[in-house]
Amino acid sequence: MEGEGQTCEGNPDVSTPPQHGSETTALLGLEAVNALSVGIAVVDRRGSVAFANAKAMELLERRAIFRCSASLLLHDLPSQDALRRAIAAAGDHVSGAIRLRDRDAHPAISVIVTPLGARTETADGPRARILLAMNELFPAGAIPNVWLAQLFGLTPTESRVTNWIVTGRPIEEYAQDRGVSLATVRSQIKTVLAKTGMSRQVQLVAALARL
């Protein structure tokens, strides 16, 4: 997270529970954290991600916001600077709250930054761990994904594209944001229409506006 020249070394490994202690407890804990609707990530003072739950990974993979999910590189430089300063303050045991913007300077994610008591021993000495609690700032009219899943059986991906349509944003921007082709997005929308019993996007938007 330190500058434009920094390279991305890939996504953090978040799926494997600890192998020591109670395996059952570790698995239950990981399952519970991944069920949260809040993105939870643990980073060091350099912004390197040591752990992220499922929601955090979903947010970190938003290509309109983050240039690199493993080291928290953002497109919006003021947001990156604010996050860097908040993480540094948390390393000194000071909590904070910030908002991150996307590449078009639109508010996208709220983040609570707070220190963790544990420190990890490394070759360079003890390294502070910092907790990030992240929530997406949904535009007006967005519908919780869990509602769409319960009402229509939509997958998380289908729920995301549905909310994008409902809030009036063009699908071309969605394709860019998610890093997929327009053909893929159109295929997802076709599936959404079939599951909701609609024939056109305008019908879908009108129906969901009443929820």
**Across 3-17, 24-38, 124-138, least confident range:** 3-17
Residue 117 reports pLDDT greater than 60: yes
Residue 22 has pLDDT above 90, yes or no: no
- Decide if 98 contacts 134 (C-beta within 8 A): no
Question: Taking 60 as the threshold, does the pLDDT of residue 127 lie above it?
Answer: yes
**Can you give the pLDDT at residue 141?**
58
Structure tokens at 151: 């009402």
- Pairing type for strands 96-101 and 107-122 reads antiparallel
Q: What is the pLDDT of residues 41-100, one digit of tens each?
A: 999 988 899 999 988 998 998 888 998 878 889 999 999 999 999 999 998 899 999 999
Q: Is 72 left (phi over 0), alpha (psi -120 to 50) or beta?
A: left
Q: Phi first, then psi: give them for residue 101, nearest 5 degrees.
A: -110, 155
pLDDT of residue 9: 64
Strands 49-52, 96-101: pairing kind: unpaired
Across the chain, what does the average pLDDT equal? 83
Note the pLDDT of residue 125: 53
- Is the pLDDT confidence value at 15 over 60? no
Share of the chain above pLDDT 70, in %: 82
pLDDT tens for 152-181 read 999 989 998 998 888 778 899 889 888 899
User: How much of the chain, in percent, has pLDDT values that exceed 90?
Assistant: 39
pLDDT band at 209 (very low <50, low <70, confident <90, very high): confident
pLDDT at position 120 over 80: no
> Closest Cα partner for 105 from 127, 139, 76, 135?
76
Residue with the two structure tokens 């761990």: 129
